[in-house]
Amino acid sequence: MPRMASSIPDEVMMNAALIKELADVAKDEALLQGVLMRTKETPNSSELVTYAPFTLFPSPVPKPVFHQALAVQTHFNTMVDKISQDTDFLQEALTSTIEVDDFTARLFKIHQQILKEGKSQSIVLGLNRSDYMLDQKDEKTSSLKQIEINTIAASFGGLSSRTPDVHRHILKVCGRLEESRQILANNPAAGLARALAKAWELYASERAVVLFLVEEVQRNIFDHRYIESELWKRNIPSVRKRFDEVYEKGSLDPDKRLFVDGKEVAVVYFRDGYMPQNYINEQCWDVRLMMERSRAVKCPDISTHLAGTKKVQQVLTRPGVLERFFPERPEVVQQIRATFAGLYTLDVGPEGDNTVAMALAEPDRFVLKPQREGGGNNIYGSEIVRVLGAVKESTERTAYILMDKINPAPVQNYLLRRDAPLVISNCLSELGVFGAYVRQGEHMVMNECVGHLLRTKSSEHEDGGVAAGVAVLDNPLLV
């Protein structure tokens, strides 16, 4: 496989003493810049913290594909928003999935109840992240391929605002001044907060708060804190609550205003609730429904959450479907479609049967994806044969989609991670682009691309993100 050159010459990469020294400097710089996580041992206390794992050097990313990813983001924002308003489309796209996937079915049931009652809030807030890999068939060509779009709890907007300075510093220390100047400014935290602030302003109640709905285990708290801190700079109060706390202390008044702990909530920002295991009991589902029924602005609301499912992603790749959302904009359809990888239905019927046969014949060409967020769920290689073999004759197969496997060229780097040996690794990167939009009724108030995230992992790991403990934070060095 062609190796995309590291951005750093071999005499630096292979100098063990220098690398050790640079790694020590890098860790201190990460702490100075606030690239932080709590420890596994004490995930809910900030008495002990460590650096969030990151690469020693920035990774090369071809300039054209980087700019392509940024340029298409506002169109993805628009598309997600349009899908969320298209009830017939969501119903059609998800029918087969909700029959076999309990989690999606529960979310869909809430969606139906809200439709029946009527939405009590016309303000919509979307903070999403579209993730890509580079498909590099040979040295010359690399094409941008979308892995997925995250419409709920898209993370690392905070920490990725702080990593550019770390890599700038490392490059200076090892004498690469020119490269250090090429590290891009990046501040997703500010952009995400700007959209939250806009939704809060439109809600128009000065004493109301932004509620961060957070998980039980909060190792990644500093990622949230950067966004909170941007809100506090604007004198917008924020509170952090878990599902159980909202269950105990939350209520709706006769006007459907949401109160938690006596405070009116203007915006609910979900940093939890994206995986089945987040709903540990029925009370969590009751809380989700109560928040959806409320007048608070939800980020995301239930239909936007559903718009981010893998099944919807697969349906969008079918001929003529994008045109439904951009009827007068063939150039936008083209821009979006250019990023799509091959996606195949596993619905019952001849088309799905073909997909099964194709996957079983050449499993290494594909990835099998369940309807799940949060990383670490995908199925590869011989596992595909095992899993699909077991469900190929039943409707259970419709809980998955099949996707072409993307082949990025590995780059050499050092992954800095607490308690891990300092060794050179063949690495693969994934580029995320943050989008933020606010709509009030028919009017799009804000629609922006607000920054990027590069995550890198050793090529021996097929799947998994930073929070899942596999990928580390990185910066693109445009080449």
pLDDT in tens, 376-418: 789 999 999 999 999 989 999 998 999 999 999 899 999 999 9
C-alpha closest to that of 417 among 50, 47, 21, 9: 50
Set 6, 59, 142, 155: catalytic member: 155
The pLDDT of residue 138 is above 90: no
> What whole-number distance in Å separates Cα of residue 11 and Cα of residue 15?
6
- Whether 279 has a binding-site annotation, put simply, is no
pLDDT-derived band at 459 (thresholds 50, 70, 90) equals: confident
In which residue are the tokens 């009017």 written? Answer: 443
> What whole-number distance in Å separates Cα of residue 189 and Cα of residue 446?
16
Type and span of the H or E element at 361: helix 350-361
Phi-psi group of 34: left, alpha or beta (phi > 0 → left; psi -120 to 50 → alpha; rest → beta) = left
Set 225, 241, 295, 369: catalytic member: 369
| Residue pair 408/428 in contact by the 8 Å Cβ criterion | yes
Tell me, what's the pLDDT at 466? 63
Tell me, what's the pLDDT at 5? 55
Set 126, 308, 374, 451: catalytic member: 374
Range in 57-66, 111-120, 137-146 with the lowest mean pLDDT = 137-146
> What whole-number distance in Å separates Cα of residue 181 and Cα of residue 357?
51
Q: Count Cα neighbours of 252 within 13 Å in the Cβ-side half-sphere.
A: 15
- In tens, the pLDDT along 251-288 reads 999 999 999 999 999 999 999 999 999 999 999 999 99
Tell me, what's the pLDDT at 1? 33
- Whether 344 has a binding-site annotation, put simply, is no
Tell me, what's the pLDDT at 140? 74
To the nearest whole number, what is the mean pLDDT of the chain? Answer: 94
- Whether 405 has a binding-site annotation, put simply, is yes
Residue 298, classified by CB atoms within 10 Å of its CB into exposed (0-12), middle (13-18) or buried (19+), is: buried
- Whether 332 has a binding-site annotation, put simply, is no
150 an active-site residue? Answer: yes
| Residue pair 444/77 in contact by the 8 Å Cβ criterion | no
Q: Is 276 helix (H, G, I), strand (E, B) or coil?
A: helix
- Mean pLDDT within 58-83: 97
Q: Between the CA atoms of 306, 435, 226 and 196, what dihedral angle is there, to the nearest 10 degrees?
A: -70
Q: Which residues contact 112 (CB under 8 A, 6 or more apart)?
A: none
Distances (CA, A) of 427 to 104, 208, 424: 33, 45, 9
Distances (CA, A) of 346 to 97, 175, 358, 377: 10, 53, 11, 17
Set 129, 162, 198, 225: catalytic member: 129
330-337 vs 63-85: helix axis angle to the nearest 10?
120
Determine what percent of the chain is predicted with pLDDT higher than 70: 96
- Whether 273 has a binding-site annotation, put simply, is yes
129 an active-site residue? Answer: yes
| Residue pair 82/325 in contact by the 8 Å Cβ criterion | yes
Beta strand ranges found along 366-407 (DSSP E): 366-370, 379-380, 400-404
Determine what percent of the chain is predicted with pLDDT higher than 90: 91
> What whole-number distance in Å separates Cα of residue 478 and Cα of residue 7?
9
> What whole-number distance in Å separates Cα of residue 402 and Cα of residue 384?
10
3-state secondary structure 167-211: HHHHHHHCCCHHHHHHCCCCCHHHHHHHHHHHHHHHHCCCCCEEE
155 an active-site residue? Answer: yes
- In tens, the pLDDT along 314-355 reads 999 999 999 999 999 999 999 999 999 999 999 999 999 999
> What whole-number distance in Å separates Cα of residue 192 and Cα of residue 84?
20
Phi-psi group of 204: left, alpha or beta (phi > 0 → left; psi -120 to 50 → alpha; rest → beta) = left
> What whole-number distance in Å separates Cα of residue 269 and Cα of residue 291?
11
- In tens, the pLDDT along 283-315 reads 999 999 999 999 999 999 999 999 999 999 999
- Mean pLDDT within 418-422: 93
In which residue are the tokens 């009991």 written? Answer: 281
Tell me, what's the pLDDT at 303? 98
- Whether 153 has a binding-site annotation, put simply, is yes
- Whether 378 has a binding-site annotation, put simply, is yes
> What whole-number distance in Å separates Cα of residue 188 and Cα of residue 166?
16
- Whether 463 has a binding-site annotation, put simply, is yes
Tell me, what's the pLDDT at 199? 98
27 an active-site residue? Answer: no
Set 176, 288, 298, 310: catalytic member: 310
Set 230, 373, 413, 465: catalytic member: 373
Give the residues across from 472 on adjacent strands. 456
C-alpha closest to that of 439 among 452, 431, 448, 428: 448
Tell me, what's the pLDDT at 53? 97
Q: Mind listing the domains of the chain with CATH numbers? A: 10-341+406-478 (no CATH), 342-405 (3.30.1490.50)
369 an active-site residue? Answer: yes
- Whether 371 has a binding-site annotation, put simply, is yes
C-alpha closest to that of 225 among 438, 41, 49: 49
- Whether 432 has a binding-site annotation, put simply, is no
- Whether 195 has a binding-site annotation, put simply, is no
- Whether 392 has a binding-site annotation, put simply, is no
The amino acid at residue 145 is: K
Tell me, what's the pLDDT at 3? 44
374 an active-site residue? Answer: yes
| Residue pair 281/222 in contact by the 8 Å Cβ criterion | no
- Whether 471 has a binding-site annotation, put simply, is no
Rg of the chain taking only CA atoms, in angstroms: 22
Tell me, what's the pLDDT at 2? 37
